[in-house]
A and B are shown apart, each in its own frame.
Chain A
């Protein structure tokens, strides 16, 4: 019996060791994304403290310039987009998540003009000032240089990105605008009025626009989306690169990450 145990023990230990080695090889540990830098930026324009998270590339070098992607609704999407950036753009893209330290104010910050839908709405122009006059300089002050700058938003965030594009009070510093499931219906489709006003001032619109909507987001979202795309196409702006997409089998809360991913393939 002792002999049996002795000889049984040898193959068990041998095969067990091989098994552990093989299993260790097949599950090669994947590198995790870098820890994002967290900062707070207080805005004098909106009176709000913003939670800013910055994901630097793996090989970040302060002497090099990168694509800087500014992501609205950072509280919701930064974690998911970190995985996308790390998997596909880890060496050439800096992700900046724009969230809130306290109460979420997207209904105020991402809307203009004020609408009866919410008495908190209508602060879009102040938020645009925060983005262009406070946040972008803050990012540059961190030693980050940009080859191109992109603003990405979903839903009301997508609307804000388009509002920033077509308003004429503040110059648009972004090369690319990503608007996924944008709330084009806001304030009786005010964005159409804004676009017409912009078109009458200048037919030059030097920006890359990517817009997408889910095909199961309903009539309101899809009809406004189609109408806006048709309007932009008819305008034939000089300098405008327009990409748009209907995301198949996607409901409203299922479009943001897929939309951002698809948009980045047209921008990078």
Chain B
């Protein structure tokens, strides 16, 4: 069994690097993201179709989704609950491969879609006779940009990314980058091209 596992890990990079990523027009990605300002973490996914392919640049269009949960433990422990963001977006990725081998890349993306923000929880401070609950849902149009870099191992693509909503910069409200309705994220993802 041990030999099989070792053989698998030796063979995997050889297998994936032997394949030419250029022949695949679709990709799906699954990742993990953190909000370093507001707190919390979650998963992101992306499914895209390649629409443009040149020697150094590829363009993709597709959908992405995100589930983010923040337990709000930063300032108080007297409450239970937190906020959950669900997002569904149209996304366009543009990837630049600086070398002919098309492994290392850097890219930029734009996204636009719907975010559903749900906040719910309770507060209990018996010594002050406080017992309170709160629930609120807000669905809004969200849009933003992201930057990423990564490496393709054949059909396997790995990415480190950062992205931010621009809602807090260009809407009618105050300038508020990385606020609860204009979050920013950093994360990592792994994808497959096919």
Contact = CB atoms under 8 A, between A and B. Distances in A.
A185 B75 contact: yes
Contacts of B181: 216, 249, 251, 254
The CB with the most chain B CB atoms within 10 A, among A193, A226, A251, is that of A251
Given A215-B138, A226-B132, A253-B174, A220 B117 contact: no
Given A189-B128, A196-B128, A251 B78 contact: no
B174 A257 contact: yes
Interface residues of B, number: 35
B77 to A, nearest CB: 8
Majority SS at the chain B contact face: strand
The CB with the most chain A CB atoms within 10 A, among B75, B82, B133, B168, is that of B75
Contacts of A253: 168, 174, 176, 179
Interface size range on A against B:
20 to 34
A217 interface: yes
A222 B130 contact: no
A66 to B, nearest CB: 27
B174 to A, nearest CB: 5
Contacts of B14: none
Contact of B136 (A188, A216, A252): A216
Contacts of B72: 218-220
Contacts of B134: 219, 222-223, 226
A220 B76 contact: yes
Given A223-B121, A254-B174, A216 B76 contact: no
B18 interface: no
A153 B84 CA distance: 29
Given A216-B119, A223-B123, A189 B76 contact: yes
The CB with the most chain A CB atoms within 10 A, among B83, B120, B129, B136, is that of B136
B119 A189 contact: no
A256 interface: yes
Contact of A223 (B79, B127, B168): B79
Would you list the 8 A-B pairs with minimal beta carbon distance, nearest first?
Answer: A223-B123, A219-B121, A253-B176, A192-B128, A251-B179, A185-B76, A227-B132, A251-B180
Interface of B: 70, 72, 75-76, 78-79, 81-83, 117, 119-123, 125, 127-134, 136, 138, 140, 168, 173-174, 176, 179-182
25 contacts: A188-B76, A188-B78, A189-B78, A189-B125, A192-B130, A193-B127, A215-B136, A216-B117, A216-B136, A217-B180, A219-B72, A219-B121, A219-B123, A219-B134, A220-B72, A222-B136, A227-B130, A227-B131, A249-B181, A251-B181, A251-B182, A254-B168, A254-B173, A256-B174, A257-B174
